[in-house]
Amino acid sequence: MELKEKLIASFMAFEEKIDTRSELHEVRSQAIKNFESKGFPTKKEESWKYTSLNAVLKNDFSVFPKQENTIEFKDVKKYFLHEIDTYKVIFVDGIFSSFLSSTTHDGLDVCLMSSALTKPKYKMMIDTFFNQIASKEESLTTLNTAFANEGAYINIPKSKVVEKPIEIIYFSTGNEAALMVQPRNLIIVGENAHVQIIERHQSLNENPVLTNSVTEIFAQKRAIVDYYKIQNDVQTANLIDNTYIAQKQESRVAVHTFSFGGNITRNNLNFYHQGERIDSTLKGVTIIGDKQHVDHYTLVQHATPNCESHQNYKTILDGSATGVFNGKIFVEKEAQKTDAFQQNNNILLSDKATINAKPQLEIFADDVKCSHGCTIGQLDESAMFYMQQRGIPKKEAKALLMYAFTSEVTSSVKIPELRTKIAKIIATKLGVNLGFDL
């Protein structure tokens, strides 16, 4: 049975088992109808022109894990940020792990989506925010909505500055021959509140995994959100990450995406402006090789005046790797005084590596400052020669140039300990010990 048919056949039994609210029943029913009509995206769709899921979908994925799997802390210790204290919300094969999590908090509302979707105390928040900005048309998002049950629910109250970062980590044990998981996150950041969140999806062996994740983030007036996505999975893992962000007046949201591992990774990142003097930042570093594939699809919808957005994506490709950057800035007629910047720079280290870049601007306002740019090239041979002449071996000189290429993004990471961890991952990907304090 093909995966699409398996999912549709599983939906009724899934909903009968967990759904107790008629409102949610209607949402889920409409979502599965959309997915049944559209199916998995194909390269015939313009937004998926350079990314095919055909090879991935040939796997016989289990839609639900057959049993609750437990793992020891020692087996996953290296994936946590140990240098500082953090709140931890951990899932194993899509199921919350109280053993690995640490959600003791002061004034925060951190719980599971399964609780938020079913308990009366959360009904008002769910009715107000759940599935409000997630696409009702994009087939993989609607598939997630149909099966939405587990993930992180985070509500930061008004004027709360969260003292510690929140780590959300999804582990896949590989105990299934092949597993599909669909986490759903809902994050509400109140007026004048500030939070830092780190998200990671990690497989623990080589069995194929397909993760179809959806995250909705609501930043209220003057809220500050720093969101970091660490994608450094094994090369049999596939990730579809759909993130939707709504920003109110004077809020500031920054999303950094670091893509180093996995087989196929697709990041759909969508920002929607709902007030004036908003600031949106989208930055990313991609370093891949072999036959890895990373696709960044971004949208910033400027709908209100006096707002800014800044996009900066750096990509290094080796082997037969393929990169995609499809970035769109949409400026509506009412969005006067918009300041929007988009930059995509790419380095190809191999003749077999491929980059497909499509920066886009659609502007309907006449008083704006918008720009976009894209470069594709190789390492600067004169700079390599200069460094080698000063005694730096070729391998280290090459790595230093590539690290410098990414530093414009990594330097803006606001958690110093995370910045150091990312720098070490980059050094490992480049195959060198750079030998200085990162």
Q: Interior CA angle at 232 toward 150 and 59, to 5°?
A: 65
The pLDDT, as a whole number, for residue 301 is 97
By mean pLDDT, which of 111-115, 239-243, 315-319 is the weakest?
111-115
Using the predicted structure, report yes or no on whether residue 352 has a pLDDT greater than 50.
yes
Give the residue among 210, 203, 113, 212 at the shortest CA–CA distance from 155: 113
pLDDT given for residue 150 in this prediction: 94
pLDDT at 438 over 70: no
**Is the pLDDT score of 132 beyond 90?**
yes
Percent of the chain topping pLDDT 90: 76
Tell me the average pLDDT across 5-34. 87
Helix (H, G, I), strand (E, B) or coil at 154: strand
- Whether the pLDDT of residue 388 is over 50: the answer is yes
> What gap in Å lies between CA 197 and CA 199, rounded to an integer?
7
Which pLDDT does position 20 carry in this prediction? 65
Residue 306 scores a pLDDT above 60: yes
pLDDT of residue 82: 85
Cα 22 to the center of its chain, rounded Å: 31
Segment 148-153 shows an average pLDDT of 95
Query: Model confidence over 264-291: pLDDT tens digits?
Result: 999 999 999 999 999 999 999 999 999 9
Q: Which residue has the higher pLDDT, 1 or 430?
A: 430
Q: How far apart are CA 316 and CA 426, in angstroms?
A: 11
Global pTM value: 0.94
Q: With bands split at pLDDT 50, 70 and 90, how would you rate the model's confidence at 361?
A: very high
More confident residue, 51 or 393: 51
Q: Give residue for tokens 């925060």.
A: 108
| 434: pLDDT strictly greater than 60 | no
Banded pLDDT at 255 (limits 50, 70, 90): very high
CB 124 within 8 A of CB 10: no
Q: Is the pLDDT of residue 437 over 60?
A: no
Kindly report the average pLDDT of the chain as a whole number: 92
What Rg do the C-alpha atoms of the chain give, in angstroms? Answer: 21
Strands (E), 108-236: 109-112, 152-156, 166-172, 179-181, 184-189, 194-203, 209-219, 224-231
Task: Report DSSP letters for 293-321, one per residue.
Answer: EEEEEEEEEE-SSS-EEEEEEEEEE-TT-
Res 435: pLDDT: 53
- Mean pLDDT is lowest, of 28-37, 99-108, 341-350, 365-374, for 99-108
Alpha helices, H only, 58-192: 73-76, 113-116, 123-129, 139-146
Query: What angle, rounded to 10 degrees, do the helices at 22-38 and 139-146 form?
Result: 140
Q: Which helix (H) or strand (E) holds 329?
A: strand 322-331
pLDDT tens for 184-227 read: 999 999 999 999 999 999 999 999 999 999 999 999 999 999 99
When pLDDT is averaged across residues 102-106 and rounded to a whole number, the result is 73
pLDDT at position 383 over 90: no
Give whole-number Cα distances, 334 to 330, 338, 361, 408, in Å.
Answer: 12, 10, 16, 32
pLDDT score of 399: 79
Query: Across the strands, what pairs with 219?
Result: 189, 247
Asked which of 105-114, 150-159, 361-370 is least confident by mean pLDDT, the reply is 105-114
What is residue 193's predicted lDDT score, i.e. its pLDDT? 97
pLDDT range class, residue 90, cuts 50, 70, 90: very high
Is residue 389's pLDDT more than 80? no
Residues 324-343: what's their mean pLDDT? 96
What's the pLDDT band for 436 if we cut at 50, 70, 90?
very low
Overall average pLDDT of the 82-110 stretch: 86
